[in-house]
A and B are shown apart, each in its own frame.
Chain A
Amino acid sequence: MKHISRTTLIFLGSIVTFTLVVQVLISLGVLSPFWNTILRQGAVMAIVGLGLNLIYGFNGQFSLGQWGFYAIGAYSAADITYRWTNDANSNGLTVLFFTILLVGASILILYRVFGKIRGVDPLSAFAIYLIAAVGLTALAVSIGNLTAPAVNAILKALPTNIANTLVYLLAVIIGGILAAEVSFLFGLPVLTLGSDYFGIATLGFTIIVKVLLDNSDVMFGFVEMKGARGMIGIPKLTSWIWVMLFLILVIVITRNLLHSSYGRAIISVREDEIAAKAMGIDIGHYKTLTFVLGCLFAGLAGGLYAHINGFLHPDSFNFIKSFDPMIIVVFGGLGSVTGTVFAAFAWQLVLEGILRSILPPGFETWRYVVYPLLLLVMMLLKPNGLFGNYEIPYLRQVLPPLKKPATETQTPAAKESL
């Protein structure tokens, strides 16, 4: 018999109710499109925050690169749906699909192989990964362009609504996986760095991505991205329901992972790397795993974000913005999933919603004065973040019951007063 625990039911029940109530309010027109957008962006920030919380809060790696991976997810997903809705061409979809498929397979195979061989130095391993990735991407471009007409025909046979939604969902997922694969390649050389140096390196990544996006039309020939002028005409397909579905999925994955032996291994790296190594934990493996998973979440969030406003601009992916998820995670409480989700919504609601509506006209930009002050007060009053280590029951680790000491285990050690 399948047994679902009470806490799980309560959690899923309440979050589904919340989602539906908001949806009804939106449909009835009680919540204006303005608040609808803010809520959706809050959920998107929660997904980015959860990814960063895995990397920084649970694994202890100070990453400022989330925003770069968010940008990769956003632009790649937007490009797929743009080509489909505006040019009725699915070549964006097929090319990126084969890219993530081939590159992903090569990464998995090479990772297995390098795990078995002793003494491959990280830089030559990185070079091999990179050559494989570039070569397979070139291959994927030709396969993708070849298969595109067939996929076009299939998609056109479907009703327009369903085809659009299908392309949109695939685009978001492909964007996420692409970000994850890029994060793996980027993480190989960089994850060996200590925390502060790692932070600087990832910040550098965000800057690189922004500069590349500024020149995307001239350098890479992505005319539809329009470089520094900003990409327009992306279909606005991210509804409140979709974004919440992804958020629930991300919360459940994070929670299940953390409550397993793998989660404990991830946390042990944060607690003490040297002790973790001495306990047989392959810390390099778990740093990579966490980083890739966190960046997958960032990429998914990017894809969702791109389809909220239908407009992307490289300035939204400026490195300054990469502190936003960091602020959210620290504000909510490092290592608290509840805190991150709550803080993401609160941050978006306060900064973009409430402050914008209560400040007198012409003083909207003063919210960037008010919210740092709020942060300051908050950090002085609750340095562990809003929630500290608190988790709602569903997200809390179930403590196994205390066992009665058995008489047979009365050993010399047991008698000691050490």
Chain B
Amino acid sequence: MSEQTSTQTRQSRSNGQEILRIEGLTKLFGGLKAVNNFSLSLNKGDLNGLIGPNGAGKTTVFNMITGVYVPTSGSIRFNGQEIAGLEPHKINQMGIARTFQNIRLFSNLTVLDNVRIAYHPHAGYSLTDAIFHNSRYKENERILTERAQEFLAVFNLQDRQHEIAKNLPYGEQRRLEIARALAAEPKLLLLDEPAAGMNPAESVALMDLIHFIRERFDLTILLIEHQMRVVMGICEYITVMDFGEVIARGTPAEIQANPRVVEAYLGPGSAALSEKFRRKRTL
């Protein structure tokens, strides 16, 4: 039943417009195949998950999409444009934003400045304007600041805007990082373990937040997550990786029932065991 509904929502949301297409993506670190022949396709409005045991190559895939690593081979097409090997800031300016596994805020700057930096590529005035502090600088700086403040209000951080980012509580730092990534209005958001280190209540709040930003900013989201509660709770479609290769794809229900996935996480032979437990529970 749940499987059916999730497939339906997926079909209804995705109007067939493909936003990201990855084919044959491979990354070698010396002799180590970190990612091998990875492929993935995202339609506009998708909320998909990428899971796998530690060291499966999930973050490497993210790093290649965002330009931190140059792929050894393969193609990444974003809105039909090849982006593999482009510089990170250019990829970001094309509309792909990300957050990091370990929060990477500009920790000695204020909350407001963290968001204002994300607006920098759209500052609207030149370096000369900045040095002379002329009227164009003043006007654009005012607009930029107001936009950032309005944006912080959406994330309920407006009262914190003058606080130094590193002094925020953990949950708010996560929220600020997501806010900062969204400030430049990307089309595709990559979340790298957004629920890491969160308690169950915080994870639930995070799931609400992800649903909210997806509606509000008309986003396509791909997320890496280890907390199965989060992944199974919000993702419509999941790709599972192990040792750099895709071992399964499907809806959360399909993935949960897939013996290869269970074995990847719990070791060979564990699939049969887990099947036994599952039967016991349903009885």
Q: A260-B130, A267-B109 are in contact. Are A280 and B120 (CB under 8 A)?
A: yes
Contact between B156 and A413 (Cβ–Cβ < 8 Å)? yes
Q: Residue A78 at the B interface, CB < 8 A?
A: no
Q: A261-B120, A272-B104, A402-B162 are in contact. Are A418 and B112 (CB under 8 A)?
A: no
Query: Which residues of A are found within 8 Å of B104, using beta-carbon distances?
Result: 272, 274-275, 278
Of the residues B85, B89, B159, B201, contact of A280 by C-beta under 8 Å = B89
Interface hits, B71-106 → A, CB 8 Å: 85-89, 92-93, 97-98, 100, 104-106
Contact between A277 and B92 (Cβ–Cβ < 8 Å)? yes
Q: Please give me the residue from chain B that is nearest to A404 by CB atom.
A: B158
Minimum CB–CB distance for A8 against chain B, Å: 10
Q: How far is the CA of A220 from the CA of B66 in the complex (A)?
A: 49
Q: Residue B117 at the A interface, CB < 8 A?
A: yes
Contact between A416 and B205 (Cβ–Cβ < 8 Å)? yes
Contact between B88 and A412 (Cβ–Cβ < 8 Å)? no
Contact between B172 and A418 (Cβ–Cβ < 8 Å)? yes
Q: Please give me the residue from chain B that is nearest to A389 by CB atom.
A: B108
Q: How large is the interface on B (under 10, 10 to 19, 20 to 34, 35 or more residues)?
A: 35 or more
Contact between B137 and A260 (Cβ–Cβ < 8 Å)? yes
- A276-293 near B? 1/0 per residue, CB < 8 Å: 111111110000010000
Query: Which residues of B are found within 8 Å of A281, using beta-carbon distances?
Result: 89, 117, 120-121
Query: Which residues of B are found within 8 Å of A32, using beta-carbon distances?
Result: none
- B107-119 near A? 1/0 per residue, CB < 8 Å: 1111011001111
Of the residues A257, A406, A413, contact of B155 by C-beta under 8 Å = A413
Query: Which residues of A are found within 8 Å of B175, using beta-carbon distances?
Result: 413, 416, 418
Q: Residue B224 at the A interface, CB < 8 A?
A: no
Of the residues A263, A280, A411, A417, contact of B93 by C-beta under 8 Å = A280
Minimum CB–CB distance for B36 against chain A, Å: 25
Of the residues A282, A409, A413, contact of B89 by C-beta under 8 Å = A282
Q: A261-B120, A406-B153 are in contact. Are A418 and B131 (CB under 8 A)?
A: no
Of the residues A119, A257, A275, A279, contact of B131 by C-beta under 8 Å = A257
Q: Residue B202 at the A interface, CB < 8 A?
A: yes
Of the residues A257, A271, A409, A416, contact of B153 by C-beta under 8 Å = A409
**Interface residues on chain A, number (Cβ under 8 Å):** 42
Q: A261-B116, A275-B100 are in contact. Are A402 and B89 (CB under 8 A)?
A: no
Minimum CB–CB distance for A412 against chain B, Å: 5
- A388-418 near B? 1/0 per residue, CB < 8 Å: 0000000000011011011001011111111
Q: How far is the CA of A414 from the CA of B153 in the complex (A)?
A: 8
Q: Please give me the residue from chain A that is nearest to B127 by CB atom.
A: A262
Q: How far is the CA of A414 from the CA of B205 in the complex (A)?
A: 11
Q: Residue B260 at the A interface, CB < 8 A?
A: no
Q: Please give me the residue from chain A that is nearest to B178 by CB atom.
A: A413
Query: Which residues of A are found within 8 Å of B85, using beta-carbon distances?
Result: 119
Q: How far is the CA of A402 from the CA of B110 in the complex (A)?
A: 13
Query: Which residues of A are found within 8 Å of B131, using beta-carbon distances?
Result: 253, 256-257
The interface-forming segment of B12-20, B45-53, B208-216, B274-282 is: B208-216
Query: Which residues of B are found within 8 Å of A259, using beta-carbon distances?
Result: 133
Q: Residue A265 at the B interface, CB < 8 A?
A: yes
Q: Residue A264 at the B interface, CB < 8 A?
A: yes
Q: Residue B258 at the A interface, CB < 8 A?
A: no
Contact between B92 and A280 (Cβ–Cβ < 8 Å)? yes
Q: Residue B29 at the A interface, CB < 8 A?
A: no
Q: A275-B106, A280-B121, A418-B205 are in contact. Are A413 and B184 (CB under 8 A)?
A: no
Q: Residue A322 at the B interface, CB < 8 A?
A: no
Contact between B145 and A272 (Cβ–Cβ < 8 Å)? no
Interface hits, B107-154 → A, CB 8 Å: 107-110, 112-113, 116-121, 123, 125, 127, 130-133, 137, 141, 144-145, 149-150, 153-154
How many pairs of A and B residues are in contact by the CB < 8 Å rule? 160
Contact between A282 and B141 (Cβ–Cβ < 8 Å)? no
Contact between B144 and A261 (Cβ–Cβ < 8 Å)? yes
Q: Residue A81 at the B interface, CB < 8 A?
A: no
Q: How far is the CA of A253 from the CA of B133 in the complex (A)?
A: 10
Q: Residue A216 at the B interface, CB < 8 A?
A: no
Chain A CB within 10 Å, residue with most, of B153, B205, B212: B153
Q: Residue A268 at the B interface, CB < 8 A?
A: yes
Query: Which residues of B are found within 8 Å of A400, using beta-carbon distances?
Result: 112, 145, 149, 161
Minimum CB–CB distance for B119 against chain A, Å: 7
Contact between A271 and B209 (Cβ–Cβ < 8 Å)? no
Q: How far is the CA of A277 from the CA of B127 in the complex (A)?
A: 19
Q: Please give me the residue from chain A that is nearest to B110 by CB atom.
A: A399
Minimum CB–CB distance for B219 against chain A, Å: 13
Q: Residue B206 at the A interface, CB < 8 A?
A: yes
Contact between A399 and B216 (Cβ–Cβ < 8 Å)? no
- A230-269 near B? 1/0 per residue, CB < 8 Å: 0000000000000000000000010011011111110110
Of the residues B97, B144, B212, contact of A411 by C-beta under 8 Å = B212
Of the residues A260, A403, A412, contact of B209 by C-beta under 8 Å = A412
Contact between B113 and A264 (Cβ–Cβ < 8 Å)? yes
Q: How far is the CA of A267 from the CA of B110 in the complex (A)?
A: 12
Minimum CB–CB distance for B84 against chain A, Å: 12
Between-chain CB contacts (< 8 Å), 22 pairs: A260-B133, A262-B127, A271-B106, A277-B87, A277-B89, A278-B97, A278-B100, A279-B118, A279-B180, A279-B181, A281-B120, A281-B121, A400-B112, A400-B149, A402-B159, A403-B150, A405-B153, A405-B158, A413-B156, A413-B175, A413-B213, A417-B201
- Residues in B lying within 8 Å of A, measured CB to CB: 66-68, 85-89, 92-93, 97-98, 100, 104-110, 112-113, 116-121, 123, 125, 127, 130-133, 137, 141, 144-145, 149-150, 153-156, 158-159, 161-162, 171-172, 174-175, 180-181, 184, 201-202, 205-206, 208-209, 211-213, 216
- Residues in A lying within 8 Å of B, measured CB to CB: 118-119, 253, 256-257, 259-265, 267-268, 271-272, 274-283, 289, 399-400, 402-403, 405-406, 409, 411-418
The 7 closest A-B pairs by CB, nearest first: A260-B130, A271-B106, A277-B88, A280-B92, A261-B123, A275-B104, A414-B156
Q: Apart from A263-B130, A417-B205, list 10 A-B contacts with CB within 8 A.
A: A256-B131, A260-B133, A272-B106, A275-B100, A403-B158, A409-B150, A409-B154, A413-B156, A413-B209, A414-B155
